[in-house]
Amino acid sequence: MLVQKSMEGDLMDKAKVFFTDFSTKPGMSLLKKLEILLERSGVLQIVEEGKMAAVKIHFGEYGNLAYIRPNYTRVIVDELKKRGAVPFVTDANTLYKGSRSNAVDHLKTAVVNGYSAEVVGAPVIIADGLRGSDEVKIRIDGDYVKEAKIGSAIALADCVISVAHFKGHEQTGFGGALKNIGMGSASRSGKMEQHSNSKPVIDKQNCVKCRMCEINCPASAISVGDYASIDYEKCIGCGQCIAMCNFGAVIPVWDSSTELLSMKIAEYSKAVLQGKKSFHVNFINNISPNCDCWGMNEPPIAPDIGIAVSLDPVALDQACYDFVKESVGYDPFAKIHSHTDSLVQLEHARKIGIGNREYELVRISCSL
């Protein structure tokens, strides 16, 4: 059983991760369990009266149904408001074409998926503005990122609350708090910087000239003649062509690019959290093999597990990863995305001082 599961080390050095499962009974709903988890974990102590709190979430691509229900977000918003904070719910525009690549479409999609101000109890703001260019440059002098480009609304907030759906990811193995903060808070140019080493190639034999890659390329880097071809001077490495090809003709180059992406995500996370108080909530359910940026769903790769919170995003993601592995008896992320190393992101985040991979698991018994 996963009881106070952690890596080896002195318990004093371990961050605390608080957890409750999805079991319910009359009088104890999941919304009430989340409220109790937040209160008993002590994470709400970072909230300050009058301070603007960015609740960073993924609104879900149109057609995707694995994203976090807005009912949960409302509980978090209400807890922040009880303590005098000024919360708003936010995400940044996507690099790829889709239903969230500009603020107009993004807000429409958010409302369709239940994320309106009336439902969540706070304004819904697109962090990097109309076309993804509203950004604040934050100097971090990292190994791979010197100046991170963060959506203005998140960069200018007083504190950050990450609310993440823990799931698989096609380029980093899994995505949790760090992915939600690092990639999700970046402006379009910041996302481009993170993806700059992830450029695909064309398998000519599999190309059927359907032009889906050409039509959906946000950089107009693909043209189709006898087969698709990529102009690498224009390619931004967003991976949209890979997602849109149904014939296996667009192939990612899995060399060092996935590791670089993971480490850049960690460094962008550092930029977002630098000088800010924060806490982090991961929902370990509907564990899809790929990101919620896909406008469809595949069967979950693990059972629903629970909700975990922590002041430390690294410890939180490590604990969720351990939970998923134990629930199925193997590492499903490594099996599905064998070209990735899920732990590169966590280890680099630890190395640059975002948090600790060692943790103490505290199970919260939710009772009336």
Phi then psi for 262, rounded to 5 degrees?
-60, -40
Q: How many residues does the chain have?
A: 368
If DSSP codes are grouped into helix, strand and coil, which group holds residue 214?
helix
Mean pLDDT score, 275-293: 96
Q: What contacts 365, CB < 8 A, 6 or more positions away? A: none
Q: Rounded to an integer, what distance in angstroms lies between the CA atom of residue 234 and that of residue 252?
A: 16
Q: What is the pLDDT of residues 287-344, one digit of tens each?
A: 999 999 989 999 999 999 999 999 999 999 999 999 999 999 999 999 999 888 999 9
If DSSP codes are grouped into helix, strand and coil, which group holds residue 168?
strand
Mean pLDDT score, 79-100: 94
Q: What is the pLDDT of residues 184-240, one digit of tens each?
A: 999 988 988 888 776 788 999 999 999 999 998 888 999 999 999 999 988 877 777
Per the CB < 8 A criterion, the answer to whether 327 and 291 are in contact is: no
User: Does position 39 have pLDDT exceeding 60, yes or no?
Assistant: yes
What is the reported pLDDT for 253? 64
Q: Rounded to an integer, what distance in angstroms lies between the CA atom of residue 239 and that of residue 213?
A: 10
If DSSP codes are grouped into helix, strand and coil, which group holds residue 230?
strand
What is the reported pLDDT for 10? 40
Mean pLDDT score, 265-274: 98
What is the reported pLDDT for 205? 94
| pLDDT-above-70 percentage for the chain | 94
Mean pLDDT score, 149-163: 98
Give bridge partners of residue 136 from the DSSP assignment: 150
The pLDDT mean for the chain works out to: 92
